[in-house]
Chain A
Amino acid sequence: MKPVIDAFQDNARAAIADSKLQDALARLAHGFPEKRRAAIGRLPEFDALRDAARDLKNHTLDHLDFYLERFEEKVVEAGGTVHWARDADEAQEIIVGLCKDAGARTVTKSKSMIGEEIAINDHLEAAGIVPVETDMGEYIIQLRHEPPSHLIAPAIHLSIGQVEDAFRDNHTHLAHERSLEEPRALLDEARVILRERFIAADVGITGANMLVAETGSLVIVTNEGNADLTMTLPRTHIAVASIEKVVPTLEDAATILRVLARSATGQDMSVYTSIVTGPKRSDDLDGPENFHVVLLDGGRAAMLGRPVREMLRCIRCAACLNHCPVYKSVGGHAYGWVYSGPMGAALVPNLLGIHNARALPHASTLCGTCEDVCPVRIPLPKLLRLLRTRDFMTRSFTAPDKLALRLWAFAAKRPALYRAVTGALSALLGGKGHYRRLPFVGGWTRSRDLPAPARRSFLRQWSLRGKNDR
């Protein structure tokens, strides 16, 4: 999917006016946060685990080259191959090439945000290969030709009626009278279709929640078991992951797992947690003959030496989305690409360049809830502020909002001048009532009354009373 981020303002307005989307977001707003609260309430050491998770991710980032090379060695030892992709183009080329080598016509896929980031389905289709998403949410949005609106619940923006419509539009064999109103009926229908695809697939593509350096293993969590069928049934398994997903040991992976599902869905563990290492061995009953891992940089290595490095700790749990008042108002699509919410606002400008994502760092009230719930303690408000600085520094001096801010700051640095300006404002606008319209502050008065400033500011009244002060 091509990013279209500068439309955030319009997207947000449309999202707020979309009553079906608002119903879906209202369900989300209570579901995940309440379950998370209950799950961490049952685990007194949760905050200590967050510290441990943060520290182990920091340690890994400090020695990222070492752990990635160790991971590659171990994958090769197990009989697999690691491919390094500098950017999305290289990753697409590698994956499409591997699929062609395997003579693939059908490719099953389990959910992968990196797959979304590199738009792998589009490139497979262009090469005449049929990609089939096997995660229920991803399957639905694939039918609808749209990007995920949430990290772990990609179709969270849809009502069941919209899902039914997508099924009827695509599953043309469906009898008109067959009821699909119950989620169960939709699941059964998807299961029948997907079962055929699982068996027909020549290649299975998965993501990876973690890469374990000491063993060369992938850790993959799902709630549907679809990743297991995706990677064990076809002859070739290709996993695609970004470089910061590596952790040193299985023990470390366990630490991350303990905070991941609790932060995401409020489960103690996801239903399936699979650890896979290399291709099928001679005495294995099943598994792929070929095992490939495609590691994507995609702008991440360039983040390492900078304060934004902290963003590379992110484990994609979506707790920051689930608790963000902005995300809960507009949903994921408003953010214009595959990552949304506070983590998207902080990550995307680093991956795509600030000039392609200027709207995002400002799409936050900096309320701090995201940082409060982050399982790896990413200081998201601080990172958003740093990106705002990058935006400010790279914009023309004459941009109206920048000019207004500089003028205000010019006065705020000079107390006497500032007094004169506020005095003039009071004289001009001061009083007791409220404005319903006022030039220059339409952003406020379009939906809110604005009280008139005091006729005399506090400091003016204080000095008139002959009180001290210096």
Chain B
Amino acid sequence: MMSQPPPSGSPRVGLFVTCLVDLMRPAVGFAAVKLLQDAGCAVSVPSAQTCCGQPAYNSGDPADARAIARTAIEAFEGFDYVVAPSGSCAGMLKLHYPELFKNDPAWKARSENLAVRTHELLSFLVDVMRYEPEDVSLIARATYHDGCSGLRELGVKKQPRALLARVKNLDVIEAAEAETCCGFGGLFCVKYPDVSTHIVDAKIDDAVKTGASLLLGGDLGCLLNIDGRLRRRGIDMTVRHAAEVLAAMPESKPESKSESEDDAA
């Protein structure tokens, strides 16, 4: 993996935005675009994309997952690379689509073609593009949470740390349980909320021990879960996608809503 030189010319990259970034935190999408462009890619965002289909796949509904997968496969045909700012969604495209189509030769071939082109954003920047961020600075003490799918399905571990090591004035302190699940688990977090909350509390306690005031990660699902629980517990720790820091996106720290207002300001 490390021995390949970066691709010559400007590779054509299709950004798989992911449904959570699209709806909940567009800044991560713009950060991904900026980083990919800085790394020398020609970035496109196909408008026919929705979600990777994981909610259906992990709920035991492979028929719907396959239908959603087909729209993604079609939307991303023809790009040199397909990049997602999420290890979980990239893992879905890369590992689980071929599994979904294992009994359908035509779509299996198309899914495998997509799989070999698909990468998680941070590992793509390091392993494929040999990208090294320049002139990024952030005065902060941070800790990095390894999302489960990125870590265990795709082997994303060193790449985000290598990128963050180039951010000036940023200290990254390893948490003892950085590789332990945050308890999000897709629909698990609403199916078994008590268990999920118990797990994310342990994750938060572990992160707090590092003395960090900033928690970074590469998966918005984990980050929303951790951030949501931090806010409810009233712990002052900022949660951001690593791409936002690397792209020097301004931090838009919204005011915490008070009490029980049902309305978003």
Residues of A with Cβ closer than 8 Å to B? 8-9, 12-13, 16, 325-326, 329-330, 361-369, 371-372, 382, 385, 387-393, 401, 405-406, 408-409, 411-413, 415, 418-419, 422, 425-426, 429-438, 441, 443-444, 446-454, 456-459, 461-463, 467-470
Q: Which residues of B contact A425 (CB under 8 A)?
A: 23
Q: Which of A367, A388, A426, A454 is most buried by chain B, counting CB atoms within 10 A of its CB?
A: A367
Q: Which of B17, B152, B186, B195 is most buried by chain A, counting CB atoms within 10 A of its CB?
A: B195
What distance in Å separates the Cβ of B236 from its nearest Cβ neighbour in chain A?
Answer: 14
| B117, CB-defined interface residue at 8 Å | no
| B3, CB-defined interface residue at 8 Å | no
What distance in Å separates the Cβ of A263 from its nearest Cβ neighbour in chain B?
Answer: 17
Q: Which residues of A contact B56 (CB under 8 A)?
A: 405, 408-409, 412
Q: How far is the CA of A464 from the CA of B199 in the complex (A)?
A: 40
User: From B203, which residue of chain A is reached at the shortest CB distance?
Assistant: A325
| B104, CB-defined interface residue at 8 Å | no
Which of B17, B57, B185, B265 meets A364, CB within 8 Å? B185
5 contacts between A and B (CB under 8 A): A412-B71, A430-B264, A446-B193, A449-B256, A451-B24
A422 adjacent to B185 (CB under 8 Å): no
Residues of B with Cβ closer than 8 Å to A? 17, 19, 21-26, 29-30, 44-51, 53, 55-62, 64-65, 67-68, 71, 75, 99, 148-149, 152-153, 180-181, 183-186, 188-200, 202, 224-225, 227-229, 231-232, 252, 254-257, 259-265
What distance in Å separates the Cβ of B88 from its nearest Cβ neighbour in chain A?
Answer: 10
Q: How far is the CA of A8 from the CA of B192 in the complex (A)?
A: 9
User: From B200, which residue of chain A is reached at the shortest CB distance?
Assistant: A448
A434 adjacent to B257 (CB under 8 Å): yes
User: From A462, which residue of chain B is reached at the shortest CB distance?
Assistant: B45
What distance in Å separates the Cβ of A436 from its nearest Cβ neighbour in chain B?
Answer: 6
Chain B binding surface, main DSSP class: helix
A444 adjacent to B21 (CB under 8 Å): no
User: From A330, which residue of chain B is reached at the shortest CB distance?
Assistant: B195
What distance in Å separates the Cβ of A432 from its nearest Cβ neighbour in chain B?
Answer: 4
Which of A329, A368, A409 meets B153, CB within 8 Å? A368
Q: How far is the CA of A426 from the CA of B22 in the complex (A)?
A: 11
A12 adjacent to B264 (CB under 8 Å): no
A448 adjacent to B181 (CB under 8 Å): no
A405 adjacent to B61 (CB under 8 Å): yes
Q: Which residues of A contact B265 (CB under 8 A)?
A: 431-433
B255 adjacent to A433 (CB under 8 Å): yes
A454 adjacent to B25 (CB under 8 Å): yes
Q: Which residues of B contact A362 (CB under 8 A)?
A: 188, 191-192
Q: How far is the CA of A438 from the CA of B228 in the complex (A)?
A: 13
User: From A461, which residue of chain B is reached at the shortest CB distance?
Assistant: B26
B23 adjacent to A457 (CB under 8 Å): yes
Q: How far is the CA of A412 from the CA of B54 in the complex (A)?
A: 11
B44 adjacent to A435 (CB under 8 Å): no
A392 adjacent to B228 (CB under 8 Å): no
Q: How far is the CA of A409 from the CA of B67 in the complex (A)?
A: 9
Q: Which residues of B contact A368 (CB under 8 A)?
A: 148-149, 152-153
Which of B17, B50, B61 meets A418, CB within 8 Å? B50
A390 adjacent to B183 (CB under 8 Å): no
What distance in Å separates the Cβ of A215 from its nearest Cβ neighbour in chain B?
Answer: 39
- Lowest 4 CB-CB distances: which A-B pairs, in order? A365-B185, A388-B60, A443-B190, A448-B228
Q: Which residues of B contact A408 (CB under 8 A)?
A: 55-56
What distance in Å separates the Cβ of B205 from its nearest Cβ neighbour in chain A?
Answer: 11
Q: Which residues of A contact B181 (CB under 8 A)?
A: 325, 365, 367, 369
B71 adjacent to A451 (CB under 8 Å): no
Q: How far is the CA of A122 from the CA of B198 in the complex (A)?
A: 35
What distance in Å separates the Cβ of B141 from its nearest Cβ neighbour in chain A?
Answer: 23
User: From A409, which residue of chain B is reached at the shortest CB distance?
Assistant: B64
Q: How far is the CA of A431 from the CA of B26 in the complex (A)?
A: 12
B26 adjacent to A443 (CB under 8 Å): no
What distance in Å separates the Cβ of B165 from its nearest Cβ neighbour in chain A?
Answer: 26
Which of B46, B148, B191 meets A443, CB within 8 Å? B191
Q: Which residues of A contact B255 (CB under 8 A)?
A: 432-433
Which of B22, B191, B259, B261 meets A458, CB within 8 Å? B22
B60 adjacent to A393 (CB under 8 Å): yes
What distance in Å separates the Cβ of B93 from its nearest Cβ neighbour in chain A?
Answer: 14
Q: Which residues of B contact A468 (CB under 8 A)?
A: 44-45
What distance in Å separates the Cβ of A293 from its nearest Cβ neighbour in chain B?
Answer: 38
User: From B188, which residue of chain A is reached at the shortest CB distance?
Assistant: A365
Q: Which residues of A contact B51 (CB under 8 A)?
A: 412, 418
Q: Which residues of B contact A419 (CB under 8 A)?
A: 47
A443 adjacent to B193 (CB under 8 Å): yes
B264 adjacent to A392 (CB under 8 Å): no
Q: Which residues of B contact A432 (CB under 8 A)?
A: 252, 254-255, 264-265
A434 adjacent to B61 (CB under 8 Å): no
User: From A361, which residue of chain B is reached at the shortest CB distance?
Assistant: B60
Which of A330, A459, A469 meets B22, CB within 8 Å? A459
User: From A459, which residue of chain B is reached at the shortest CB distance?
Assistant: B22
User: From B42, which residue of chain A is reached at the shortest CB distance?
Assistant: A468
